[in-house]
Chain A
Amino acid sequence: MSTATPAPAAGAGARRDPAAPSLTALAVLRTRIELKQFFRERDAVIFIFAFPVIMLAIFGSVFDEDVGGGVSFTQYFVPGIVAAGIMLSSFQSLAIGIAIERDDGTLKRLRGTPMPPAAYFLGKIGMVLVSSVLQTGVLLTAAALVFNIDLPTSPSRWVTFAWVFVLGTSAGTVLGIAFSSVPRSGRSASAVVTPIVIVLQFISGVFFVYDDLPAWMRNIAELFPLKWMAQGMRSVFLPDSYQSIEADGSWQLGLGAVVLGVWLVVGLAACLWTFRWSRRDAG
């Protein structure tokens, strides 16, 4: 640490190291305080947990026939809404939440303390993981109990579920942190972030049968992570026979993993290079 400071009193860095709190301990503390704040914003909690269930209920009621092959519309929408929910609780919630924290001085205050920046990011990741797991759990429970959707039983499908969930959540998290620097203020954040999320949901096959969309729309959607998260989740919740109606005749899991992995790396790089602790117009 003291190598970074050219000053004569270079011993100051080493002197305190024995007592400095560990990054792991601070990451756990940050996660806990983030979760406390998250659960106290009751409107946001209801939005993140109830929104996917409400969307499922609406789309399940509007289209109450079968997609074909004994699969109801409601069942077809489950994977898309799981993917959209992950994007909501990772990308959308962080892009807006951090923009507000940058605006109200939370970030500046933390930057003035010896807390390592990594502890802040780990705390955000911990919060997103917990809220995403809870949100998906609520959605799948409602799907099974209220909408009588058959959840998969084979372990290999749950393995696919797990890696798509983890990779999608991680990419959404780093992209959300990176994107939080785009809105000019906390107040404009949700106006900037929400339309992007909604457009992506419409073109990525969350609310429509993906293969009914025009090809040009699918071509755009293929550039973004949500399409691949939704497709990965379809491989978990739909019968294998449904592969035949996918554009490529396959779930494209390998390609999906690569695209999500690339977005994860791009997001991480953007975080490291562009993250700001104060507002852009703060000089």
Chain B
Amino acid sequence: MTSDRADTLDGAAPVRVRGLVKRYGDRTAVDDIDLDVQRGEVLALLGPNGAGKTTTVEVLEGYRGRDAGEVTVLGHDPAHANGAWRSRIGIVLQSSQDNAELTVEELVRHFAAFYPAPRDPDDVIASVGLEDKRRTRTRQLSGGQRRRLDVALGVVGRPELLFLDEPTTGFDPEARRAFWELIRGLRGDGTTILLTTHYLEEAEQLADRVAVLSGGRIVGLGTPAALGGRADREATVVWEDADGRHEVRTLTPTGLVAELAQRYAGRAEPGEVPGLQVLRPTLEDVYLSLVRGSIDAETVPISSGESPDSIGEAR
């Protein structure tokens, strides 16, 4: 990023949220959230549908007001957003069907004209892999192509901070991988990215840190490895014999397997444990237990109550 931007911001976190509350009628969609996104990092907001991800992001984008809390995005309160502030952020909303009659090239060029220092539209089209489709009307694009166009429109203004709301929902695995490469490239350019997703694998692949949101609260926050790693300490060893299926949770799976190997040494295939599996909790298991609230505060790797600054450094 250019030096004048750094000067203006005095190195402050691009996104700083304290005590954010948003209610719809008597339903509390976002319930007292603290969150920081550090410069240059990719933070994934992970959570089930209705957890408050989109509401949180739309408050940060300036689309929605809030009922309580302090929110600072690129040094400004998004509730009082102006054009200059909007020129520094990029927004990729959830799935869209707008502007169906315009071509890829027309749209990217048109949106570039809104910004004071846009990226070159041709470069942007190339970077999202839509060169072959530049003269195609958007209604004729596939879901994945349409989403890449959304990203092109989100980044053509050369944003310092990019919001991506469920960018790959409905993608096939190949399209999703191509999309991840695109996001990695943007991160490589120094763009700070706040991403919402309900795909764990996506958060694991892209994010420096993951915040798990459930029922409007942050129930877990940390690096994907830390979120999964803490639970890694305990593995489940599974095997089957004449007595049926055995499942043992243990902190020392290797020792247990060695013991089992001895126990089955006298069989037709000496040392083979029938139906042996050693299962480690995936990020998904950790996530699910966080969302269900079945992990108490102590076992959450880094709880939302801790200073987010220390998390940033720990990374």
Residue of B nearest to A14 (CB): B84
Interchain nearest-CB distance for A187 vs B (Å):
13
Q: Which one, A1, A25, A40, contacts B84 given CB within 8 A?
A: A1
Query: Chain B CB within 10 Å — which of A14, A25, A109 has the most?
Result: A109
Q: A15 — which chain B residues lie within 8 A by C-beta? A: 4, 8, 84
Interchain nearest-CB distance for A232 vs B (Å):
35
Query: Chain B CB within 10 Å — which of A6, A9, A20 has the most?
Result: A9
Q: A37 — which chain B residues lie within 8 A by C-beta? A: 99, 101-102
Contact A114 B87 (CB under 8 A): yes
Question: CB within 8 Å of A: which of B40-91?
Answer: 55, 61-64, 72, 74-77, 80, 82-89, 91
Q: A14 — which chain B residues lie within 8 A by C-beta? A: 84
Complex: how many Å from CA A9 to CA B11? 12
Q: Is B246 an interface residue (CB 8 A)?
A: no
Contact A108 B84 (CB under 8 A): no
Contact B98 A20 (CB under 8 A): no
Q: Is A36 an interface residue (CB 8 A)?
A: yes
Contact A12 B113 (CB under 8 A): no
Of B114-122, B231-239, B283-291, the stretch lying at the interface with chain A is B114-122
Q: B24 — which chain A residues lie within 8 A by C-beta? A: 283
A-B contact count (CB 8 A): 121
Q: A113 — which chain B residues lie within 8 A by C-beta? A: 86-87, 111, 114-115, 157
Contact B64 A6 (CB under 8 A): no
Interchain nearest-CB distance for A13 vs B (Å):
4
Q: A6 — which chain B residues lie within 8 A by C-beta? A: 77, 80
CB-CB under 8 A for A20 and B87, given A7-B76, A105-B96? yes
Q: Is B93 an interface residue (CB 8 A)?
A: yes
Judged by DSSP, the binding face of A is helix
Residue of A nearest to B113 (CB): A29
Residue of B nearest to A25 (CB): B113
Contact A116 B76 (CB under 8 A): no
Complex: how many Å from CA A4 to CA B116? 20
Interchain nearest-CB distance for B191 vs A (Å):
16
Q: Which one, B63, B76, B114, contacts A114 given CB within 8 A?
A: B114
Residue of B nearest to A9 (CB): B75
Query: Chain B CB within 10 Å — which of A1, A14, A25 has the most?
Result: A1
Interchain nearest-CB distance for A59 vs B (Å):
33
Q: B64 — which chain A residues lie within 8 A by C-beta? A: 283
Question: CB within 8 Å of B: which of A94-108?
Answer: 101, 104-106, 108
Contact B85 A13 (CB under 8 A): yes
Residue of B nearest to A41 (CB): B101
Q: Is A197 an interface residue (CB 8 A)?
A: no
Q: Is B106 an interface residue (CB 8 A)?
A: yes
Q: Is B9 an interface residue (CB 8 A)?
A: yes
Contact A33 B110 (CB under 8 A): yes
Q: B100 — which chain A residues lie within 8 A by C-beta? A: 104
CB-CB under 8 A for A9 and B9, given A104-B96, A105-B98? yes
Q: A29 — which chain B residues lie within 8 A by C-beta? A: 110, 113
Contact B98 A40 (CB under 8 A): no
Residues of B in contact (CB 8 Å), total 44
Q: How large is the interface on A (under 10, 10 to 19, 20 to 34, 35 or more residues)?
A: 35 or more
Q: Is A69 an interface residue (CB 8 A)?
A: no
Q: Is A8 an interface residue (CB 8 A)?
A: yes
Residue of B nearest to A30 (CB): B110
Residue of B nearest to A278 (CB): B63
Residue of B nearest to A11 (CB): B8
Q: B294 — which chain A residues lie within 8 A by C-beta? A: none
Contact B99 A12 (CB under 8 A): no
Contact with B along A1-31 (1 / 0, CB 8 A): 1101111110111111101110001100100
Residue of A nearest to B22 (CB): A283
Complex: how many Å from CA A6 to CA B98? 34
Contact A12 B98 (CB under 8 A): no
Query: Chain A CB within 10 Å — which of B61, B89, B115 has the most?
Result: B115
Contact A9 B76 (CB under 8 A): yes
Q: B115 — which chain A residues lie within 8 A by C-beta? A: 21, 113-114
Q: Which one, A13, A19, A115, contacts B82 given CB within 8 A?
A: A13
Contact B106 A105 (CB under 8 A): no
CB-CB under 8 A for A109 and B82, given A7-B77, A9-B76? no
Contact B61 A112 (CB under 8 A): yes
Interchain nearest-CB distance for A242 vs B (Å):
44
Complex: how many Å from CA A75 to CA B255? 100
Contact A12 B88 (CB under 8 A): yes
Q: Is A111 an interface residue (CB 8 A)?
A: yes
Q: List 15 interface pairs A-B (beta carbons < 8 Å), by A numbering.
A: A5-B85, A6-B80, A7-B72, A8-B75, A9-B8, A12-B76, A19-B117, A33-B102, A36-B102, A104-B98, A109-B93, A112-B91, A114-B114, A114-B115, A114-B157
| 4 residue pairs, one from A and one from B, having the closest CB atoms | A9-B75, A19-B116, A106-B98, A112-B91
Kindly list 11 other residue pairs between chains A and B, CB separation below 8 angstroms, not including A5-B77, A13-B84, A41-B101: A12-B85, A21-B115, A25-B113, A36-B101, A104-B97, A106-B99, A109-B99, A113-B114, A114-B84, A114-B86, A283-B24
